[in-house]
Amino acid sequence: MADTAENSASTSSGRYHMDTELVFIEGDAVKDNYNAASVPIYQTATFKQTNADGSGGEYDYSRSGNPTRTAVETHIAKVMKAHRAFVVSTGMTALDVILRLVKTGQEIIAGDDLYGGTNRLLTYVSQFSGIKVHNVDTTDVSKVEARLDPVKTRLVLLESPTNPLIKIADMRTIAARVHEVCPSALVVVDNTMMSPYLQNTLELGADIEYHSGTKYLSGHHDLMAGVIGCREARVAEQVYFVINANGSGLGPFDCWLLLRGIKTLGIRMEKQQGNAIRIADFLEAQGFKVHYPGLRSNPQYELHKGMSSGPGAVLSFETGDVALSERIVESARLWGISVSFGCVNSIISMPCKMSHASIPAEVRKQRRLPEDLIRLCVGIEHHEDLIGDLTNALTKAGVSVKPFSSS
């Protein structure tokens, strides 16, 4: 499904489709005297120099730079169509680095439906750094505009789709409006849910796109990583300064794991997305309220389609009863109960009790985050097995399942 005009368009090299760019490592990404087929792991903290003043080498200390990290950052920058990309220890580290660009007295506009860890970090900076955070419904452009201040606004932080209600923001319009009203503000997008394979937010007008590399980019939940892509050199220099200063750059072995994972992103995402579409159809046929931009019944279907080349592989649905949701989750067998998403294995969870539990109950209620919400992060298993397992879980939980054909 992702092989559309948007996603099959050539990358900055002007040569290859995205599936090929994910696999193909440019020859100048790393200097290797032995021409290894796999990028070498430079598992070293420091590098020998040739001169007494410490000069003479491209690298000196792995906190500042490492050949393996250079290789994955160069590759990711190509995939993201970024001026420069960086890899750090976790997705939350990526956001922390970005937030260092905000000064005391400045303001951040963020969504009211966003990852629990993001909410936790934004709450921290608002309490201890003198930074005002406005949480608004980013699906309504007018509500973002209402909070724009030409002097104070420094960051506009977006998720699209949001986590966990899978709401869509008009990123193109918001970015244009922010840059018009607040020339010094940065539009930042957490694009983890879509991955660079399905959505390129820098082309939509974002200044910074970041990811939890732990999710789709890695794909196997055996790695913690964060990715930051910058559209312009000026912003990239500021981001690199922070990473070098605080030592948050990703280690060599983890860089190698991330690079390996990126190569299979295309085939994984296609399979996961195909499964998710069938599962969303199944759940909607059962009468549940399903949140997924791949459903034509979704009012934001066309908006999302205009920005992305596919709906992704994360969806959520409401049962109307917390106890029922708990029984469904606990009755599943193939679907592991876990936080996170983007893994080859399918995952089921109740966000209000897990990934978003750090958001106070009264705030969740204010933001209309349903306590009964179930989030499904779809893997690469056979879709009939996944739907069959959900059918068994629903039946055990007391739901009368209607016949459904997934063919």
Rounded Cα distance, 276 and 26, in Å: 33
Rounded Cα distance, 72 and 62, in Å: 14
Structure tokens at 339: 């936080």
Within 10 Å of residue 269's Cβ, how many Cβ atoms?
Answer: 25
Choosing from 3, 32, 63, 321, the catalytic residue is: 63
Can 190 be counted among the known catalytic residues? Answer: yes
Nearest to 266 by CA among 384, 385, 383, 380: 380
Length of the chain: 407
CB 219 within 8 A of CB 266: no
Choosing from 177, 215, 278, 364, the catalytic residue is: 215
Q: How many CA atoms lie within 13 A of 180 on its CB side?
A: 7
- Within 85-140, residue ranges assigned H as helices are 91-99, 116-128
Can 167 be counted among the known catalytic residues? Answer: no
Choosing from 19, 113, 115, 292, the catalytic residue is: 115
Helix (H, G, I), strand (E, B) or coil at 337: strand
Can 231 be counted among the known catalytic residues? Answer: no
Choosing from 96, 190, 372, 389, the catalytic residue is: 190
> Letter for the amino acid at 122?
L
Rounded Cα distance, 227 and 254, in Å: 12
Rounded Cα distance, 311 and 273, in Å: 7
CB 113 within 8 A of CB 369: yes
Opening angle at CA 339, ends 336 and 345, nearest 5: 40
Task: State the catalytic residues.
Answer: 63, 115, 190, 215
